[in-house]
Every structure is written in C-alpha cells, then in structure tokens.
Amino acid sequence: MEQKAVVKRILSAQTAQVSLMRQLECGLSCKSCEGCPQKPKDEILSTAENPVGAAVGDVVRVQSNSGSAIGIAALVYLVPCVMLALGYLLGAHLGLGEGGSVAAAFAGLLVGFVPAVLLDRVIARRGRPEFTIIAIEGE
C-alpha cells in the first residue's frame, strides 16, 4: 500500500522519521501549509527506510514493509475467535454445563491471544522501519 508522508527528521543515513498523511482534497501539493485548514490535526509518526535521499520537509510516497498483512490479520483476529468457539464446544462436549462452557470459551480466547502477543514481540524486537520511501513528490 502506498501513501503520502512528510519527512520530519533524518534518523540516520538510511532512515527517516515520517509523518503519515490522510488523503485530502487539496492533494497536499503546497510546501508550507502552516495556515492550511485541511492540515490533519493528529500526526502519525513512523520510521521509513530512505534510499532516495529525501530531506526534512519533503513530501514523499511511502510503501508499507508489512509483508503479508492478511496473514497477520488472520492470526490476530481469527485465531482468538476460533479458540473461543473451540473452548465453548469442548466445555459442552465434556458436560460442564453452561457456566463451565463459558469459562472454557474464555480460556480458549486467552490461549488464542498468545500467538498475537508473540508475533507483536517478534515484530517489535526486529526494529525494522515500517515503511520505505519510494519517491519524492514533485520530482
């Protein structure tokens, strides 16, 4: 997925901090938008690889480095739901009654969150930039 961003600061020779932008009517074609009423109020800061040599203040196009977003979304959302249902069915199959089945479903939900937490730790430990700057706008 590609989107526009503004380079806020240079972190190293190959890494920059960027402010991600929402798509606006004006297309953010102006260089200084201090008084612009379209300027987003909330700023989302992220890190980006900077192979094109963008400088502070440049409007750039960035691409996500997330890889398989569908696989990650399935792991984070689908696995806990499946484990919740399996926990309930297991409780019902073992004859635990309604309360016991709900408790087993809750335990299954907690177990279903474990892969998501572990994946989050692996991604955070990598420390790789989340985006790559692919072009400087206006060039």
pLDDT attached to residue 27: 54
Q: Give every CB contact of residue 111 below 8 A, 6+ residues apart in sequence.
A: 83, 87
pLDDT attached to residue 12: 86
pLDDT attached to residue 92: 95
**Listed residue (7, 18, 5, 12) closest to 46, CA to CA:** 18
Which residues of the chain, if any, have pLDDT below 50? 25
Q: Look up the pTM and report it.
A: 0.53
pLDDT attached to residue 42: 65
Consecutive H or E run containing 64: strand 59-64
Q: Are 10 and 56 in contact (CB under 8 A)?
A: yes
pLDDT tens digits, residue range 31-57? Answer: 555 555 555 556 778 888 888 988 898
What are the angstrom distances between the C-alpha of 1 and each of 4, 23, 62, 114?
A: 10, 13, 8, 28
